[in-house]
DNA sequence: ACTCTAACGCAACATGTGTAGCGTTAGAGG
DNA sequence: CCTCTAACGCTACACATGTTGCGTTAGAGT
């Protein structure tokens, strides 16, 4: 993600730590609107030009923060039922999207200004959805849903309404939203929705970007 | 939406027309990134200061454009079946989100920079979803789906995956996406998802924010 | 036709954002 | 310990963005 540091020793690493910490601190304390290269640099004693050179813009900073956040050991919830798993997952998404300070929303906003932030966020979500595929596999293993159910399609159906309502439609946070959407999706899956169209036994996620 | 013009006559109206036309022209010709107060003003012979005073920022300009666009006579498709209506609707959404120039995406991006654009977009979508409620009503009238199906919830379920995949996840435009999502949603609705829950006013699960 | 003033045009200013040149410093490699 | 240079700090600049004060103009009201 970040430019390969040819000299990763003490100083450069220290600068990176201080800058990224300052980004999060700034985000938490003063919100996204107050986030700029200058405020971050001033907030951690690193010079403006250094930050500009290494991260280029605010999107670059958030992309780096996101790249760090993506390398965690998060695993999807395992409650024993599809309904339970989706509901628990959706509650996490809901919490992230309505949390204060709105870090997730800030990252989404940044992704519209910086292609680097956009790519980092895309990669982050791709990884998360891949990890969540086991939820669908487990449900199929328990014969809750038909075999051959398209995991990604089901997971997007379960989570997309949350993003849509909270981020794009900007509806007020409705406490039941996460659970309702999860339940609707589970009903759909049991009724045979999200059936993978037969292409070939070994599915490859061919992702052509325009 | 826009500030009430105390003097709506010839000159002010003419300025507004020229500015809004220039916004669309700029958007079509050079894309969203090239859209700024200065380029718009220069592109239509109106002075910078005038545009700044009346619209404040780019978000204000797009909000005004959007307010005009919302006052049209658009009606949701009527194909005779729920599947057909949702598929036709989703194809429209798909076309809007993948269209070039990416006007819709530009408006969404602007909504993260300007509260006025955000509010205009929210109002626009609220109106569109209201108009689409007849799709659900017709389906219920034909007994395709249970009476008491929550129209908005169904419509969001049908369209949200498109916005999620194309706008947030930035997946490549998949030709079958619109139809598949519409079909999945129709299956869900027939299976009894989106049932409006009769909820007592004081039933809220404490939303857990971390 | 006359008046009054909202809205406009203009110049000058203030600030925010990003870049370029150049000397300095610290850490990687011997 | 010594050298070499990537990365840093600093100054100065270039440009974009947004504001202020003031004179001018056109159209709404009578």
B196: in domain? no
B67: in domain? no
d(CA B130, CA A188): 24
Q: Is A33 on the interface with B (CB under 8 A)?
A: no
Chain B residues near residue A167 by CB distance under 8 angstroms: 168
Residue numbers in chain B where pLDDT is lower than 50 = 1-3, 206-210
Number of domains in chain A: 2
Chain B residues near residue A184 by CB distance under 8 angstroms: 153, 157, 188, 193-194
B98 contacts B173 by C-beta, under 8 angstroms: yes
Residues B101 and B14 in one domain: no
A200: in domain? no
Q: Which of A4-8, A128-132, B10-14 has the lowest mean pLDDT?
A: A4-8
Closest in A118, A194, A207 to B184, CB measured: A194
Range of the domain at B124: 82-190
Instruction: Write out which nucleotides of chain C lie closer than 7 A to a protein Cβ.
Output: 6-12, 16-21, 26-28
Residues 6+ apart with CB under 8 A from B77: B84, B85, B88, B89, B92, B135
**pLDDT band at A189, cuts 50/70/90?**
very high
d(CA B185, CA B193): 9
Percent of chain A with pLDDT over 90: 74
* Residue A35 pLDDT: 92
Residues B94 and B171 in one domain: yes
Q: Is B109 on the interface with A (CB under 8 A)?
A: yes
**pLDDT band at A29, cuts 50/70/90?**
confident
Q: If you count residue pairs, one on A and one on B, with CB atoms under 8 Å apart, how many are there? A: 124
Q: Is B104 on the interface with A (CB under 8 A)?
A: no
Residue whose CA lies closest to nucleotide D18 C1': B52
Residues B177 and B92 in one domain: yes
d(CA B159, CA B143): 22
Residues A41 and A102 in one domain: no
Residues B185 and B89 in one domain: yes
Determine phi and psi for B192, rounding to 5 degrees: 100, 10
Q: What is the pLDDT of residues A36-51, one digit of tens each?
A: 999 999 999 999 999 9
Instruction: Write out which nucleotides of chain D lie closer than 7 A to a protein Cβ.
Output: 6-12, 16-21, 26-28
A205: in domain? no
What distances in angstroms separate CA A24 from CA A14, A35, A56, A59, one per listed residue? 16, 10, 17, 13
d(CA A28, CA B201): 34
d(CA B115, CA A193): 38
Residues A46 and A102 in one domain: no
In the 21-40 segment of chain A, residues within 7 Å (Cβ) of strand C are 36-38
Residues B120 and B39 in one domain: no
A208: in domain? no
For the segment A92-107, the average pLDDT, to the nearest whole number, is 92
d(CA A48, CA A42): 8
B208 contacts A157? CB cut-off 8 A: no
Residues A92 and A131 in one domain: yes
Chain B residues near residue A157 by CB distance under 8 angstroms: 157, 161, 181, 184
Give the minimum alpha-carbon distance from B85 to chain A in angstroms, rounded to a whole number: 18
B25: in domain? yes
| Tokens encoding A55 | 């991260």
CA B36 / C1′ D14 distance in Å: 19
Closest in A112, A180, A192 to B187, CB measured: A192
Read off the CATH number of the domain in which A15 is found.
Answer: 1.10.10.60
Q: What is the pLDDT of residues A196-207, one digit of tens each?
A: 986 555 545 544
- One DSSP character per residue, B27-53 reads HHHHTTTT--HHHHHHTTT--HHHHHH
**pLDDT band at A20, cuts 50/70/90?**
very high
Give the minimum alpha-carbon distance from B41 to chain A in angstroms, rounded to a whole number: 23
CA B75 / C1′ D21 distance in Å: 49
For the segment A151-167, the average pLDDT, to the nearest whole number, is 98
Chain A residues near residue B184 by CB distance under 8 angstroms: 153, 157, 188, 193-194
Residues 6+ apart with CB under 8 A from B49: none
**CA of A124: which chain B residue's CA is closest?**
B169
B65: in domain? no
Chain B residues near residue A175 by CB distance under 8 angstroms: 204-207
Residues A91 and A36 in one domain: no
SS3 assignment, position A149 = strand
**pLDDT band at A16, cuts 50/70/90?**
very high
10 Å CB burial of residue A57 (0-12, 13-18, 19+) is middle
* Residue A7 pLDDT: 54
* Residue A12 pLDDT: 76
Residues A46 and A88 in one domain: no
CA A95 / C1′ C17 distance in Å: 34
Q: Is A48 on the interface with B (CB under 8 A)?
A: no
* Residue A28 pLDDT: 86
**pLDDT band at A97, cuts 50/70/90?**
very high
A190 contacts B188? CB cut-off 8 A: no
A75: in domain? no
Dmax (CA) for chain A in angstroms is 59
Residues A112 and A181 in one domain: yes
Mean pLDDT of chain A: 89
């Amino acid at each position: 993600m970040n430019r390969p540091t040819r000299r990763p020793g003490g100083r450069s690493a220290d600068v990176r730590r201080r800058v990224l910490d300052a980004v999060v601190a700034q985000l938490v304390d003063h919100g996204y609107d107050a986030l700029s290269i200058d405020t971050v640099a001033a907030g951690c004693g690193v010079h403006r030009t250094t930050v500009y050179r290494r991260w280029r813009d605010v999107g670059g900073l958030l992309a780096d923060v996101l790249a760090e956040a993506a390398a965690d050991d998060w695993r999807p919830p395992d409650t024993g039922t599809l309904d339970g798993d989706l509901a628990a997952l959706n509650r996490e998404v809901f919490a992230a999207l309505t949390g204060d300070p709105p870090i997730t929303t800030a990252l989404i906003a940044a992704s519209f200004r910086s292609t680097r932030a956009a790519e980092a966020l895309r990669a982050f979500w791709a990884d998360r959805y891949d990890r969540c595929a086991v939820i669908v596999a487990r449900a199929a293993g328990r014969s809750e849903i038909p075999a051959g159910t398209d995991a990604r399609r089901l997971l997007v159906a379960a989570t997309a309404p949350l993003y849509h309502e909270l981020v794009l439609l900007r509806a007020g946070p409705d406490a039941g939203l996460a659970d309702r959407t999860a339940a609707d999706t589970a009903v759909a899956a049991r009724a045979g929705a999200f059936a993978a169209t037969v292409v070939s036994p070994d599915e490859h996620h061919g992702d052509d970007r325009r």
